[in-house]
Amino acid sequence: MSKAFTKSLLLYNKILIRRLKSLITRAPPAPASATERLPPSHKHESSTAPLDALPAPGTTDDDNDNGGRAGGGTIVCEVEGGLLMSSSTFPYFMLVALEAGGLLRGLLLLLLYPLLRLLTDELAMKAMVMVTFAGLRKDAFGRLGMAVMPKLFLQDVSAEVFHAATSAPVTSGGARRRRRCVCVSSMPRAMVEPFLKEYLALDAVVAPELRELGGYYLGLVEDEGEVARRMDVEEVIGAKGGAVVGIGGQGCSFQHIFQKYCKEVYVPTESTRRRREALHPRRYPKPLVFHDGRTAFRPTPAATLAMFMWLPLGAPLAVLRTAVFLLLPFSLSVPLLASLGMHNRMIASSSPSAGDKSKSNLFACNHRSLLDPLCVSAAAGRRDLSAATYSISRLSEMLAPIPTFRLTRDRAADRAAMQAQLARRGLVVCPEGTTCREPFLLRFSPLFAELAAGGVDVVPVALHLAVDMFHGTTARGRKMLDPLYLLMNPVPSYLVQFLDPVECGGQEARAVANEVQRRVAEALGYERTGLTRRDKYLILAGNEGVVGAAQDGGTKN
Which is nearest to 515 in space by CA: 531, 526, 504, 527?
Answer: 504
Which is nearest to 309 in space by CA: 457, 70, 110, 549?
Answer: 110
Q: Is 137 in the same domain as 229?
A: yes
Q: Is 121 in the same domain as 254?
A: yes
Instruction: State the SS3 of 51-77.
Output: HHHCCCCCCCHHHHHCCCCCCCCEEEE
Residue 46 lies in a domain: no
Which residues, at least 6 apart from 270, have a Cβ–Cβ distance to it below 8 Å?
27, 29, 30, 250
pLDDT tens for residues 328-345?
A: 988 899 899 999 999 888
The CA-CA-CA angle for residues 131, 135, 139, to 5°, reads 120
CA pair distance 258, 247, nearest whole angstrom = 9
Residue 494 lies in a domain: yes
| pLDDT at res. 237 | 79
Q: Is 271 in the same domain as 311?
A: no
Higher-confidence position of 154 and 231? 154
Q: Is 378 in the same domain as 241?
A: no
Residue 222 lies in a domain: yes
Q: Is 92 in the same domain as 178?
A: yes
Q: Is 269 in the same domain as 305?
A: no
Q: Is 272 in the same domain as 317?
A: no
Least confident of 310-319, 372-381, 391-400: 391-400
Q: What is the distance in angstroms between the CA of the first residue and the CA of the last residue of the chain?
A: 66
Return mean pLDDT, the chain.
Answer: 81
**Domain extent for 444:** 301-541
Q: Count the domains in the chain.
A: 2
- 365-371 average pLDDT score: 93
Residue 314 lies in a domain: yes
Q: Is 252 in the same domain as 375?
A: no
| pLDDT at res. 63 | 44
pTM: 0.83
| pLDDT at res. 175 | 54
Q: Is 364 in the same domain as 481?
A: yes
| pLDDT at res. 542 | 81
Q: Is 274 in the same domain as 347?
A: no
Which domain CATH number covers 172? 3.40.50
Residue 449 lies in a domain: yes
Higher-confidence position of 151 and 274? 151
Residue 62 has pLDDT above 80, yes or no: no
Which residues, at least 6 apart from 277, have a Cβ–Cβ distance to it below 8 Å?
158, 159, 160
Residues linked to residue 440 through DSSP beta bridges, in sequence order? 527
Which residues, at least 6 apart from 207, have a Cβ–Cβ distance to it below 8 Å?
183, 184, 185, 186, 187, 188, 189, 192, 193, 227
CA pair distance 467, 489, nearest whole angstrom = 6
pLDDT tens for residues 125-172?
A: 999 999 999 999 998 888 888 899 999 999 999 998 898 887 655 545
